[in-house]
A and B are shown apart, each in its own frame.
Chain A
Amino acid sequence: MIQKQYKNNRNEQALTLAFVTLISLGTGTDLAAFEAIITNERSGDAIHINDEGSTTHVAKVCSRPRGMTKGFDDSQVVIACSDDDKVIIYNRKTKAIEAEINNVTGAMNLTFHEPTGQLLVTNEGSSRASVYDLKSGRFIAELRTGLEPDGIAITGDGKLIFVASENAGLVHVFDGATYQPLDVIRTNLRPRRIALSSDELWVSSEMGSRVEIFDTKTRKMKAEVIFAPKGFRPEQMTPVDILFNPNNNEAYVALGGANHVAIVDTKTLKITKYILVGRRAWGLGLSPDAQTLIVLNGLSDDFTMINLNTRRPTLTRRAGLIPHSIEVFK
């Protein structure tokens, strides 16, 4: 309750300050408050950070926490614990682990489809993905993929499931209702993450140094996005996370070893800005007001916040060891 009160105050403050900052240089803009949870692969924890970049809580969660997604409500995150072969539900308000799904071999990445309550998890070492009912923890189905499945996504209507297999260079397509395989999409080297827009499938090819865009219905490639920030060579572009901004036509791509984030215009596919961040930029999170982009830097063990109005980084702070995934809440 007190926390809520505080947040409201912060929002008011943000509103009153907005006018002032528009006139000023546009740096240090006070945006709406948020809390983010970051999983740290090596230190085995989830940290809570606030909109000022301060770590407010460190929760030891499990061994090698990697993929993370939002759960049923605003208080839950679901975390893949890769070395413990399990998935946990962590409550950020009570700061406690609420539930566990066990025997999830090599849990790597996950996504939650709220309308059906299905949790989809990739099982990195065993060339498959598995589907669970998040509420009961009941196992529903197993999907055969290529070697090293990583990114997994389901369309909003729940009809199609996509799984990227890093080693195989394939995205497998499954029927979201029957879980039957429908199609296989060939990608460039090491497809990592998948982002879905209304009719497009964006796949980051980490070793192919590009983002490939496919039509979700025909599964044909529509376009490729190639990156070239100043001072880096083509093979240093090792993109991982892709994020769409729901409020405009922007997509954000973390360029890994090229230590930049690219802002891509989703209409023209032009790269409108490169922003220098930390080393091996890979995980991305967007604040609920879509004004702040948070980038996890996997080699420098920190995160960078970017003000999307000014398109400049505002701060970089220590994360845990090997920050992997981030979810941002109001």
Chain B
Amino acid sequence: MSVVRLLITLFAGFISHASAATFHAVIVTASGAESGARGHSFAGIQTRVERPVQRGVELALFESTTSFEAYGIVPKLMIIDLNDQQPIDTQLAQIPTDALVILDLPKPEFIQVATALNALERTTINVRHPDTDLRDQICLPSLYHTIPSERMYFDALGQFLIYRGWRKVLVVHGPSERDKERTAILEKSLKKFGAEISDIRQYTLSHHPDDRDKNKPEFLTGGASYDVVAVIDSDKDFGRYIQYSTRRARPVVGDVGLTPVGWHRTLERYGAPQLNERYQRFDQSNPLPPSEAMSDAEFAAWSAIKLITNSLSVAGINAQSLSPRQILEHPDTQVDLYKGTRGSIRNWNHQLRQPILLATSEAVIAVAPMPKFLHPKHYVDTLGFDKPESPCQLN
């Protein structure tokens, strides 16, 4: 009896593979457009990890092997490295209609390619850019975001500060446009949860003696009353000098110190150690040491694939095709994110809803939403733009 059952299972598996549906995962990169100094600060010192997201994608495909077998699906990974010799449309034309396209591109190229793919109705995933304009203004029907938005990161930080009773915040930001934009978002998050901003100060990299107040941490953080210093330093350039150099003995949060992140190598709960270990070891030809973990972009790329493979049961899959779009549009689509609460898609702006970790370099201190920040519908929707607030209304 049992042997017969096994044979039927195997035979059925064989049959379905003969006319199997293909899951086309595509990564679009533009290695030529990446800055040579990516992830580096002054004197070539590496201050952040910015790897291609491919390893995260491959890990997710590896993890999904049994799901693919169960549903008779054959995964195919295609990588397109855009060049500037051919027109972009020509290069994108090779992407199959039912592909899940992950964009690993700098922002200008990202916008160009995402817009082109939207016109082609290709399901596209943003795994790299938390920028709010991509969600709120550009707001493309074919575009999904599995990396958290800036607003989600800062809302998590805002909740944490209120939870700890650190209500008075001194904000220090860099001179770049990006730093200024992110500072404005941080301000909104802090206000949303009732924090008080003591002052907002700009760091300036200048040799002029009059600017000493703007580049020496002790002066930059002097003459104000605050519980905590929030640093906005998108390039991880100057912020690393602020901690332990503040005028008052206060904790530092934001882009240094306690940082809101999508993923972390030291998360101990929710099966995370298993995922981290697997990330390091699954590629036997290229193992990574235990100190390495997925960056937020890699984790977002992993999440995108897993959204599909965790939700194969929700949308009809016939022998010939698997439609990632159909799955992403389905209200029951969900993903196990190893963060204690499953992820799902906000249908109004196509953002993956997910918990945010608040971590130092060595430990995860908290997982937001923080206790007592309640939402009437979705536990994690106190993080980021809720449906009524969102300028993007795709549904």
Residue B316 at the chain A interface, CB threshold 8 Å: no
Find out whether the CB atom of A146 lies under 8 angstroms from the CB atom of B66: yes
Question: Which residues between 130 and 166 of chain B lie within 8 Å of chain A, taking CB atoms?
Answer: none
Find out whether the CB atom of A168 lies under 8 angstroms from the CB atom of B341: no
Residue B19 at the chain A interface, CB threshold 8 Å: no
Q: Mark B88-121, 1 if CB is under 8 A from A, else 0.
A: 0000000000000000000000000000000000
Q: How far is the CB of A155 from chain B (nearest CB, A)?
A: 14
Given A167-B274, A169-B67, A238-B341, the answer on whether A207 and B336 have CB atoms closer than 8 Å is: yes
- Provide the residues of chain A in CB contact with B286, threshold 8 Å: none
Q: Which stretch from A11-19, A180-188, A195-203 is at the chain B interface?
A: A180-188
Residue A125 at the chain B interface, CB threshold 8 Å: yes
Residue A208 at the chain B interface, CB threshold 8 Å: yes
Given A168-B67, A184-B70, the answer on whether A233 and B377 have CB atoms closer than 8 Å is: yes
Q: Which of B5, B269, B378 contacts A235 (CB 8 A)?
A: B378
- Provide the residues of chain B in CB contact with A298, threshold 8 Å: 269
Residue B318 at the chain A interface, CB threshold 8 Å: no
Find out whether the CB atom of A238 lies under 8 angstroms from the CB atom of B340: yes
Question: Which residues between 122 and 176 of chain A lie within 8 Å of chain B, taking CB atoms?
Answer: 124-125, 146-148, 165-170, 175
Count chain A residues whose beta carbon lies closer than 8 angstroms to a beta carbon of B.
33
Q: Mark A294-320, 1 if CB is under 8 A from B, else 0.
A: 000011000000000000000000000
Residue B375 at the chain A interface, CB threshold 8 Å: yes
Residue A257 at the chain B interface, CB threshold 8 Å: yes
Count chain B residues whose beta carbon lies closer than 8 angstroms to a beta carbon of A.
28
- Provide the residues of chain B in CB contact with A92, threshold 8 Å: none
Find out whether the CB atom of A182 lies under 8 angstroms from the CB atom of B379: no
Residue A189 at the chain B interface, CB threshold 8 Å: yes
Nearest-neighbor residue (CB-CB) of A146 within chain B: B66
Given A183-B9, A186-B313, A235-B379, the answer on whether A148 and B274 have CB atoms closer than 8 Å is: yes
Q: How far is the CB of A166 from chain B (nearest CB, A)?
A: 6
Residue A70 at the chain B interface, CB threshold 8 Å: no
Residue A113 at the chain B interface, CB threshold 8 Å: no
Given A233-B375, A233-B377, the answer on whether A182 and B2 have CB atoms closer than 8 Å is: yes
Of B6, B268, B342, which is in contact with the most chain A CB atoms at under 10 Å from its CB?
Answer: B342
Find out whether the CB atom of A175 lies under 8 angstroms from the CB atom of B342: no
In the assembled complex, the Cα of A233 lies from the Cα of B70 at a distance in Å of 31
- Provide the residues of chain B in CB contact with A186, threshold 8 Å: 70, 313
In the assembled complex, the Cα of A299 lies from the Cα of B366 at a distance in Å of 11
- Provide the residues of chain B in CB contact with A175, threshold 8 Å: 2
Q: Mark B370-385, 1 if CB is under 8 A from A, else 0.
A: 0000010111100000
Find out whether the CB atom of A125 lies under 8 angstroms from the CB atom of B336: no
Q: How far is the CB of B337 from chain A (nearest CB, A)?
A: 8
- Provide the residues of chain A in CB contact with B70, threshold 8 Å: 170, 184, 186
Residue B204 at the chain A interface, CB threshold 8 Å: no
Residue A190 at the chain B interface, CB threshold 8 Å: yes
- Provide the residues of chain A in CB contact with B378, threshold 8 Å: 233, 235
Q: How far is the CB of B32 from chain A (nearest CB, A)?
A: 36
Residue B344 at the chain A interface, CB threshold 8 Å: yes
In the assembled complex, the Cα of A236 lies from the Cα of B339 at a distance in Å of 12
Find out whether the CB atom of A235 lies under 8 angstroms from the CB atom of B342: yes
User: For chains A and B in complex, what number of residue pairs have CB atoms within 8 angstroms?
Assistant: 72
Of B5, B274, B278, which is in contact with the most chain A CB atoms at under 10 Å from its CB?
Answer: B274
Residue B202 at the chain A interface, CB threshold 8 Å: no
- Provide the residues of chain B in CB contact with A299, threshold 8 Å: 269
Q: How far is the CB of A231 from chain B (nearest CB, A)?
A: 8
Q: Which of A148, A169, A170, A208 contacts B271 (CB 8 A)?
A: A148
- Provide the residues of chain A in CB contact with B198, threshold 8 Å: none
Nearest-neighbor residue (CB-CB) of A145 within chain B: B66
In the assembled complex, the Cα of A59 lies from the Cα of B240 at a distance in Å of 43
Find out whether the CB atom of A189 lies under 8 angstroms from the CB atom of B6: no
Residue B63 at the chain A interface, CB threshold 8 Å: yes
Find out whether the CB atom of A168 lies under 8 angstroms from the CB atom of B66: yes
Residue B189 at the chain A interface, CB threshold 8 Å: no
Find out whether the CB atom of A183 lies under 8 angstroms from the CB atom of B342: no
Nearest-neighbor residue (CB-CB) of A233 within chain B: B379
Residue B246 at the chain A interface, CB threshold 8 Å: no
In the assembled complex, the Cα of A155 lies from the Cα of B176 at a distance in Å of 65
Nearest-neighbor residue (CB-CB) of B281 within chain A: A125
Residue B237 at the chain A interface, CB threshold 8 Å: no
Given A125-B274, A189-B342, A190-B336, the answer on whether A169 and B2 have CB atoms closer than 8 Å is: no
- Provide the residues of chain B in CB contact with A125, threshold 8 Å: 274, 277-278
Given A207-B336, A208-B334, A235-B379, the answer on whether A189 and B9 have CB atoms closer than 8 Å is: no
Of B5, B278, B341, which is in contact with the most chain A CB atoms at under 10 Å from its CB?
Answer: B341
Q: Mark B1-39, 1 if CB is under 8 A from A, else 0.
A: 010011001000000000000000000000000000000
- Provide the residues of chain A in CB contact with B269, threshold 8 Å: 298-299
Given A146-B66, A189-B336, A233-B377, the answer on whether A180 and B2 have CB atoms closer than 8 Å is: yes
- Provide the residues of chain B in CB contact with A168, threshold 8 Å: 66-67
Find out whether the CB atom of A166 lies under 8 angstroms from the CB atom of B271: yes
Find out whether the CB atom of A182 lies under 8 angstroms from the CB atom of B277: no
In the assembled complex, the Cα of A300 lies from the Cα of B341 at a distance in Å of 17
Give 15 CB contacts A-B under 8 Å: A125-B277, A167-B63, A167-B271, A168-B67, A181-B6, A183-B5, A189-B310, A207-B336, A207-B342, A233-B377, A235-B341, A235-B344, A235-B378, A298-B269, A299-B269
Q: 8 closest pairs, A vs B, by CB? A: A233-B379, A207-B336, A207-B342, A168-B66, A189-B336, A182-B2, A146-B66, A190-B336
New A-B contacts (11) at CB < 8 Å, excluding given A42-B268, A147-B66, A183-B5: A124-B274, A125-B274, A167-B271, A170-B70, A180-B2, A180-B6, A189-B334, A189-B336, A233-B375, A235-B341, A238-B340
